[in-house]
Amino acid sequence: MDGGEAPGLSVKGWETVDVPHDWAIKGPFDKDIDKQVVQVVQDMDEAPRERTGRTGALPHIGVGWYRKTFEVPAFQPGKKALLAFDGAMSDARVYINGEEVGHWPYGYSYFYFDISDYLKQGEENLLAVRLENLPSSSRWYPGAGIYRKVQVIVKDEVSFNKWATFITTPFISDEVAQVNIQTEISGAATHMVTEIIDPSGKVVAAETTTDRFGSKMEQNIAVPQPQLWGTEHPHLYQARVLLYEGDELKDEEFIRFGIRSVEYERGKGLVLNGEVTKFKGVCLHHDLGPLGAAVNVAALRRQLTILKDMGVNAVRSAHNMPAREQVELCDEMGILYLAESFDEWAKPKVKNGYNRLFEEWAEKDVVNLVRALRNHPSVVMWSSGNEVPDQWGNEGVKRAKWLQDIFHREDPTRPVTVGMDQVAAVMENGFGAITDIPGLNYRVHLYDEAYDRFPQGFILGSETASTVSSRGIYKFPVEIYSHKTYNDFHSSSYDLEYCRWSNLPDDDFVWQDDYDWVIGEFVWTGFDYLGEPTPYNEAWPSRSSYFGISDLAGLPKDRFYLYRSRWNTKDETLHILPHWNWEGREGETTPVFVYTSYNSAELFVNGKSQGIQTKTKDKTKQHRYRLMWMDVQYEPGTLKVVALDDDGQPVAEKEVHTAGAPYGLELVADRSVITADGQDLSYITVSVVDKEGRFCATATPQLDFKVTGAGDFKVVCNGDPTSLELFHLPTMKAFSGQLVVTVQSQKKAGDITLQVKGKGLKTAKMTIKSE
C-alpha cells in the first residue's frame, strides 16, 4: 500500500496477498479511525455527538494499490478482453501497463472494462488498481481493497454482450413453462442455439433462432413438466446458450435459472408459485465478521445454513449490492433475495457518502446491479434505497420514480421497494404511494395508517426490530428498556432492549399475525457486523453491533431461538434462558424465559415446580410469544423445562445446569470434512466446560490455538463487541464461555488438527479432514 499517484510498472518489493482481500481487517482497532462527530437524524440524535467505532475502528481509510502481472494466452487477433470486478472498495482506478482504462467509484458495484486496446498479446501485462476510502463515507465497516472476485474474460468479437442475456418464465402450468430468452450480441452472428438442461442434467428442450433485430435476438422455449424453484425445493435449470457465425461456434454461456412465478397481490403480498409466502427475512451487512469484507463462499454458506436452521426464507442485502456468491447460494438453498442498492441518494447521511456520486453514477450502478443479478430465481424484489433523506421533499419523490423506472426498464418482472423510515413524510408527499412495495423500517405504530393511505394494499417490514443484546449476558431487574446502557457496554440477552427508533421482536410478530396485509419482515440483523455499536456509539471500545440474532462469531444469541420457535415450523425449538451460574444471586429473583415451538411448559428448579406457563394473547405481547417465569428465585442446580402438548401431556424437556470450575474445552466443528482447495473453511466452536462436561457460561479464559497438518489457522472470534483482540492472531479470550476458531484448508488433502490450550485447562484437540 502507498499513497503515491503513479501506477508504476513493477511488482518488486510488494507484499503478496490473495484476492479477495481486505487490507483493514487485521487492524489494529483504533478509536480515532474514522471518528465521526455527527448528528444522526435517523437515530433521533438531538445534537452532534462523537461516534467511535461507527465504521469498525479498523484502518480502512486511505489509499491502497494492488498490482499483478499476468498473461492472457487466449487473447488473439479477433478477440476482445474484459476485466470484470465484482466490487472494489472503493473509488477504483484501473490501469493496464501504466494506462488508465477506467474508473468506478461505488465500492459495492459490479463493473467491467473492455481492456482489449491496452493489453499486449503474448506478453506479460501489468494490472494496477488504485483504491481510496475517504473518512466519513460509511455508516458501518465497509472493508477495504479488492474484496471480491476479479476476472479477465476473453471473448470473440462475435459474442453475447456482457450480462445481456435475460431469462424469464412468463407462463407456467403443470404441463409446460415458457422460457423466454432475450439477448444482445456484437458482431456478425448468424444464429443462436439454446439447450435447456433440467435439474438432473438432462437436455429437455432446445431451439435455434436466426431472426435478429439489430443487435437483439429472442427465443421462447417450451419446457415440459417444469420443476419449480421454491423455498422448499429450489430446482435449478440451466440454459446453454450458443452463438454461431455460420458453422463456427463463437460464444457459449451457461446461465442458471429457475422456473417460478412471482406475484404480489393486495392483502396478501408475495405469491410464489401460487402460494402466499410471508417474508421471514433478515438484513445482512456484507462483512463476514473476523474475515472482514473479503468474500469467502464457505463463510457465506455457513451464515445461510445457520439462518435456514432458524427458519429464515429471505435475505435483504443491506444496504448495497451483495456478493454475487451469496445470491448464487440463495438460489441453491431456496432463500428469497431482496437486493438493495443504496443507503443514500442525493442527500447525505455521511459527508462523503454516495450523495457525491448519485447524479452521475446512480443509473450506471443500478443497471449493473440488475443486469448481473436478474437471472437469479432467488431475487424476488429490488430495493432502490434505505432510509434515504430524500424521503423529504418533492425532489426525492422524483428521484424515487426515476430510479424505480430504471429498475423496471432493466427488469420488468420484479417490483422495487425502498426502506422508508420517514413515514409521515412519505404518506404526505406521494413517495410511499408510487413505490411498488411500500417498505417500512420500524414504525409499527404507523403500519395501520400507512396501509390506509397507500394504494398498494400491503405493507412490508423492510427493516424490523433492532433489538440489542450481547450473547450470554443478562441484566437485572428484567424490564423493557429503550436505549439502555450499562457500565460493561453490553446489552441484556433477555431480549427486552431496543433503541429509540426501534422495537422488540414481539411487536413485529403481532402485526404479522393479526393482519394478512403485513407481508413479512426483514429483521435487523441476522448476524452482528463490524461498526455501528448502538447503543454504545460513543463508548470505546465498543466496535461492532449488538443487533445480531447471532453474534459476530456466528454463535446464536437467545433471540435466535425466539425467531426459530416461530419460523422453523419443522423442527422443535425448546430453549431456556438465562444460564444458571449466578454465584452471589442465591435467593434473588432471576426470571426464566423459554423460547419454544410448544404453547405451554412447566418449569422446575431442582425438581420444584415453578408452575405452568402458556402463551396467551391476554397479557403483554411478550406473553404471546415467550413463556416467562418472572419470580424464580435463584438457587444453584438444575433448571428443567418440560414442554406440554395441548392436552397437558409432557412432550419434550430440556435442562440447564450450574457448572463447576472450568476444567476443559469442548470442540465442535460445523463441518468435519472440507475441500482441499485452499479456500474452504471449518468453523470450530470452543466451549469451556467443567469436569462433568457442563458448560461454563461465564468463563473467559485466554485461549491459544495451533493448527497443524493440511490446513491453517485463519481467524478467531468470540462475539464480544468490545473486544480489541485481533482476529488473525492465534490467541483470544473466551466470551460467555465460548469462541469460534476458523481453520482453512490448504491445496493438499490430509488431516487438519486444531489444538486449544488455556491456563489451568485440559488441552483439547480436534482433527478434521480435508480432501
Contact footprint for ligand GAL (CB under 6 A): 42, 318-319, 386-387, 421, 441, 463, 466, 499, 502, 524, 532, 534
List C-alpha distances in Å: 520 to 417, 430, 497, 692: 14, 23, 22, 44
Q: Which is nearer to ligand GAL, 387 or 410 (CB)?
A: 387
CA angle centred on 92, ends 87 and 159, rounded to 5° = 65
Q: Which is nearer to ligand GAL, 399 or 769 (CB)?
A: 399
523's grid cell? 429483521
**What is the number of the residue whose Cβ is closest to ligand GAL?**
466
List C-alpha distances in Å: 734 to 93, 516, 686: 42, 44, 8
Q: Which is nearer to ligand GAL, 466 or 622 (CB)?
A: 466
747's grid cell? 491445496
Q: Cell 417490514 appears where?
A: 461
Helix (H) or strand (E) holding 306: helix 297-310
Q: Which is nearer to ligand GAL, 532 or 720 (CB)?
A: 532
Q: From the CB of 532, what's the least distance to ligand GAL, in Å?
A: 6
Q: Which is nearer to ligand GAL, 537 or 568 (CB)?
A: 537
372's grid cell? 448481473
In angstroms, the CA 197 to CA 206 distance is: 9
Q: From the CB of 42, what's the least distance to ligand GAL, in Å?
A: 5
Contact 391, 420 (CB under 8 A): yes
Q: Is 635 annotated in the active site?
A: no
Q: Say whether 605 sits in a helix, a strand or coil.
A: strand
Angle between helices 324-333 and 358-373 (to 10 degrees): 40
List C-alpha distances in Å: 525 to 53, 209, 466, 472: 18, 47, 7, 18
In angstroms, the CA 652 to CA 596 distance is: 10
Q: From the CB of 318, what's the least distance to ligand GAL, in Å?
A: 6
Q: Which is nearer to ligand GAL, 537 or 742 (CB)?
A: 537
Q: From the CB of 432, what's the least distance to ligand GAL, in Å?
A: 16
Q: From the CB of 277, what's the least distance to ligand GAL, in Å?
A: 24
Q: Is 328 annotated in the active site?
A: no
End-to-end Cα distance, the chain: 35
- How do beta strands 437-441 and 416-420 pair? parallel
Q: From the CB of 491, what's the least distance to ligand GAL, in Å?
A: 12
- How do beta strands 159-160 and 176-186 pair? antiparallel
**Which listed residue (132, 325, 340, 463) is catalytic?**
463
**Which listed residue (325, 340, 387, 635) is catalytic?**
387
b/e sequence 475-511, b meaning 16+ C-beta within 10 Å: beebeebebbbeeebbbbbbbbbbbebbbbbbbbbeb
In angstroms, the CA 582 to CA 200 distance is: 56
In 3D, which of 742, 739, 749 has the Cα closest to residue 712?
A: 742
In angstroms, the CA 66 to CA 62 distance is: 14
Q: Which is nearer to ligand GAL, 386 or 492 (CB)?
A: 386
Q: Which is nearer to ligand GAL, 407 or 524 (CB)?
A: 524
Q: From the CB of 536, what's the least distance to ligand GAL, in Å?
A: 13
Q: Say whether 307 sits in a helix, a strand or coil.
A: helix
Q: From the CB of 344, what's the least distance to ligand GAL, in Å?
A: 11
List the catalytic residues. 387, 463
